[in-house]
Structure 1
């Protein structure tokens, strides 16, 4: 098996070497040796990095992703967590679709002032409630 030097892994994966070192430090990937001062990785690190990228795009934290690899570094994806995240994405998609539609309506609304548009006023109320709820969640539900 041909090992990948950290520079080659960075080039093939598109992940900077500094990020690779950080991922190794937090336990997401593992080097298997060194060639001089340069870390060496098994080719499966490319798969791990692709999964990490996908996980980040899906909204998983790096801490969440630690549990998605077995001790040998092979993917061990928790199906329940994936279902939960997919459900959250579905909710975000619905919310963003509603927001997009409202913004398009307001942009095309024939009302003289946006404040005269009932849909715009409803959008402001919904936005205000959402901000309040996010603020409560950030404070731990207080």
Structure 2
């Protein structure tokens, strides 16, 4: 057994994912074990980086099928690259929305209006900007 390999518990601890998630990702073909140590799966250390990518993509709203396509993408996969560009725009919109929410919450923490919803500054921060 290669001493550089990580068992499933180590990968789970390093990635912050449950072992059941690792087994699920393996079943879906997103990760591949390097072998077994007895009954326990073992993985190359690089799987932790791959899992970080998978976790980030999941938080960004990618489906398992989309992540599988990203992991197998080639330079000639123009349809996927167009989808990735569209997803980047969606993420930009999410970031803008979250920044507005953060700013509104920061203001709300110190606002002295009797009712927070009556504060024009607070409510203006939450409004979605109209595209020109």
CA distance in 2, matches of 1:101, 1:66: 36
CA distance in 2, matches of 1:95, 1:46: 30
How many angstroms does 1:91 deviate by?
3.4
Q: Partner residue of 1:13? A: 15
CA distance in 2, matches of 1:31, 1:100: 40
Cα distance per residue 1:90-123 (max 9 Å; x no partner): 3345566778999x8xxx9x9xxxxxxxxxxxxx
Q: Which 4+ residue blocks in structure 1 deviate beyond 6 angstroms?
A: 96-102
- Give TM-score, length-normalised by structure 1: 0.59
CA distance in 2, matches of 1:8, 1:81: 34
Structure 1 residues 91 and 31 mapped into 2: Cα distance closer, same or farther (>3 Å)? same
How many angstroms does 1:81 deviate by?
2.8
- Give TM-score, length-normalised by structure 2: 0.63
User: What's the C-alpha RMSD, in Å, of the aligned pairs?
Assistant: 3.7
Q: Partner residue of 1:68? A: 70
CA distance in 2, matches of 1:25, 1:94: 35
Equivalent positions of 1:50-129 (< 5 A) are 50-70=52-72, 79-93=81-95
Equivalent positions of 1:31-42 (< 5 A) are 31-42=33-44
Q: Partner residue of 1:25? A: 27
Structure 1 residues 27 and 94 mapped into 2: Cα distance closer, same or farther (>3 Å)? same
Structure with bigger helix share is 1
Q: Which runs of 5+ in 2 are unaligned?
A: 114-132
Greater radius of gyration (CA):
1
Q: Comparing both chains, which one has the higher relative contact order based on Cα–Cα distances under 8 Å and sequence gaps of 6 or more?
A: 2
How many angstroms does 1:55 deviate by?
0.5
